[in-house]
Amino acid sequence: MTENSSHQEAHDPTQERVVVAYTAGTAAEAMVIRGLLESAGISSPGSGSNDPFPLRESPEGTHGVEVYVLQPRAEEARQLIEEYQKDNQSSAAEADDSDEA
């Protein structure tokens, strides 16, 4: 194997490690986060469901739904998710304040 071919293999996206970027509380939250990542150009491997009739979530809650990304984009994905959550928290707080007024 030449040095050139090993260098190309290292940058092959199919060889990159998949890591958990976020663990959502529900499947719906995971879908929103995946959509957020996809809109930013960050793919979420293994996020598509092939089940045409998915089961409803139990009302007691879930064990968490993991959102995966390729390792080189993991930090960027986590920052994007964190910013999104901060924006949602401040929007919710503003809505609560206006409801009380």
On whether residue 91 sits in a domain, the answer given is yes
* pTM of the full structure: 0.66
On whether residue 45 sits in a domain, the answer given is yes
User: Quick check: 73 pLDDT over 90?
Assistant: yes
pLDDT score at 7: 44
Lowest mean pLDDT among 10-24, 28-42, 49-63, 80-94: 49-63
Q: Which residues contact 26 (CB under 8 A, 6 or more apart)?
A: 57, 61, 62, 65
On whether residue 90 sits in a domain, the answer given is yes
Residue pLDDT, tens place only, 9-30: 445 656 789 999 999 998 889 9
pLDDT score at 99: 64
β-partners of residue 24 are 65
Report the share of the chain in percent with pLDDT over 70. 64
The whole domain housing 21 covers 16-50+57-100
On whether residue 10 sits in a domain, the answer given is no
